[in-house]
Amino acid sequence: MTTFALMVLGAPTSSQTPHTALAFARAAVQAGHRIVRIFFFHDGVQCGNQLLIPPAGQQPMSAQWSEFAQRNQIDLVVCVASALKRGVLDHSEAQRYDKAANLQSGFDLSGLGQWIEACALADRVVTFGA
């Protein structure tokens, strides 16, 4: 068994990256490996935006990640600095800035320290660039 830390940099609205990363994560879990944490950085924070409406027949990316992570007990962390700039807010940030929250349940907003910690714990680090 190998442990992985994954970084996702692309938004579902403009790149294939989130799809690639999710397919990789599913294959890793199926092969018996463990994913320490998935960190959403740069435009990747849009993976946690529950307001994105995909074309008919497609499941929202935020829900797909959330279900996958819940089933396999994987930490989904959205970079707070990247997220605020791009309008992805959890309840406490929404309250602070007097806006509506839109972060899908199952994702946490946190800092880059979470990524560095995941890298320290994992055997392999894989970036999915956009």
Partner 1 sequence: MLHTINKSPYADASLDECLRVCDGDDVILLIEDAVYAALTGSVWSARLTTSAKAVYVLRPDAAARGMANRIAANIGTVDYVGFVQLCCDNLAIQSWY
Partner 2 sequence: MNTKRYLIVCRRPPYGESYAREALDVALAAAAFEQSVALLFLGDGVAQLLTTQESAAIDEKSLEKQLGALPLYDVNEIYVDAAALRERGFTASDLSLPARVLEYETITALLQRADIVLNF
**DSSP for 69-121?**
HHHHT-EEEEEHHHHHHTT---HHHHHHHT----BPTTEEEE-THHHHHHHHH
Q: Which of 11, 77, 79, 103 is catalytic?
A: 79
The nearer residue to partner 1, 89 or 122, going by C-beta atoms, is 122
Tell me which of 4, 41, 68, 128 binds partner 2, using CB under 8 A.
Answer: 41
Question: Which does residue 63 touch among partner 1, partner 2, none (CB within 5 to 8 A, set by kind)?
Answer: none
4-43 mask for partner 1 (x: CB under 8 A)?
Answer: x----x------xx--x--xx-xxx-xx-x----------
Angstrom distance (rounded) from CA 130 to CA 123: 23
Residue linked to tokens 């879990």: 29
Angstrom distance (rounded) from CA 107 to CA 24: 19
Question: Which does residue 16 touch among partner 2, partner 1, none (CB within 5 to 8 A, set by kind)?
Answer: partner 1
